């Protein structure tokens, strides 16, 4: 069993003061544990507040939800990987479904973002997942493999092997519907096979997280599924006590 990873994607929620209060509450529920990794992806504007609130808990690490692919320049409103790194992020979500489907991010752009992350010393958490129409058309495997290949297209095998992947079916995000543990396992196994193709044996160690309507009621079963190495949680990560229950799954 790989060391499980629990990642909270707060999306566009939690202002700095709320984020700090959340962390104080969460820490009370979650004493330091060696056998699991907790990652939090707050709003970029709350990153500093969360980093301050976590200064005595280096076991909990931070990431940003998005970056631009250029390192700096005239890109009003964007954040770069070096800025995110300097602000305390160690991880970055790349290719999240909402970036792809709400903001029109392309496969090629996810590749440029993952490459920018690596250049800056951030670990990309590459998100892949099919829509309901794609699933019903039997295209799930082809879609997630295409997204994965595009995201790591310009990254060398060593850095692919030190990245993270999340399988988040679009139809499961924020809908209350989850992939069954066996459906998740089947897709994770396809991702695992592709990681082996891309990196050889090192692909074995890449954590593959499941995301999409994870909550405290289904977390244990999903985490127990073969090839599910962790959970990427949206809505249910916004309540400190509920999030702590998931992280203890």
Output 5 or 199, the one with its CB closest to ligand 13P. Answer: 5
The helix/strand/coil state of 64 is strand
Out of 98, 105, 130, 168, which one is annotated catalytic?
Answer: 168
Among 211, 216, 219, 244, binds ligand 13P (CB under 6 A): 211
Closest CA to 126 of 94, 173, 168: 94
The residue sitting closest to ligand 13P, measured at its beta carbon, is: 234
- The answer to whether 48 is a known catalytic residue is no
40 beta partners: 8, 62
Closest CA to 84 of 127, 113, 108: 113
- Please give the Cα distance from 66 to 195 (Å, whole number): 23
Among 105, 130, 168, 194, binds ligand 13P (CB under 6 A): 168
Among 213, 223, 245, 246, binds ligand 13P (CB under 6 A): 213
Among 63, 181, 212, 230, binds ligand 13P (CB under 6 A): 212
Q: What is the DSSP letter of 2?
A: P
- The answer to whether 96 is a known catalytic residue is yes
| Contact string 93-112 vs ligand 13P (x = CB under 6 A) | ---x----------------
Residues forming the site for ligand 13P (CB under 6 A): 9, 96, 168, 173-174, 211-214, 232-236
């Amino acid at each position: 069993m790989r060391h499980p990873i629990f990642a909270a994607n707060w999306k566009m929620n939690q202002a700095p003061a709320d984020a700090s209060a959340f962390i104080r509450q969460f820490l009370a529920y979650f004493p330091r544990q060696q056998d699991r990794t907790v990652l939090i992806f707050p709003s970029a504007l709350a990153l500093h507040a969360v980093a301050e609130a976590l200064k005595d808990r280096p076991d909990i690490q931070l990431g940003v939800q998005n970056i631009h692919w250029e390192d700096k320049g005239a890109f009003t409103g964007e954040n770069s990987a070096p800025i995110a790194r300097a602000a305390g992020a160690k991880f970055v979500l790349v290719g999240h479904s909402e970036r792809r489907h709400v903001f029109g991010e392309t496969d090629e752009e996810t590749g440029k973002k993952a490459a920018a992350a690596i250049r800056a010393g951030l670990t990309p958490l590459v998100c892949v997942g099919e829509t309901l129409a794609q699933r019903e058309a039997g295209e799930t495997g082809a879609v997630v493999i295409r997204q994965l290949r595009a995201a790591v297209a310009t990254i060398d095998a060593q850095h692919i092997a030190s990245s993270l992947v999340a399988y988040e079916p679009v139809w499961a995000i924020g809908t209350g519907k989850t992939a069954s543990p066996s459906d998740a396992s089947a897709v994770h196994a396809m991702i695992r096979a592709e990681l082996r193709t891309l990196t050889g044996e090192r692909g074995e160690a890449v954590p593959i997280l499941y995301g999409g309507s994870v909550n405290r009621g289904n977390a244990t079963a999903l985490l127990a599924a073969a090839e599910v190495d962790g959970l990427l949680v949206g809505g249910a990560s916004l309540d400190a006590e509920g999030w702590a229950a998931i992280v203890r799954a």
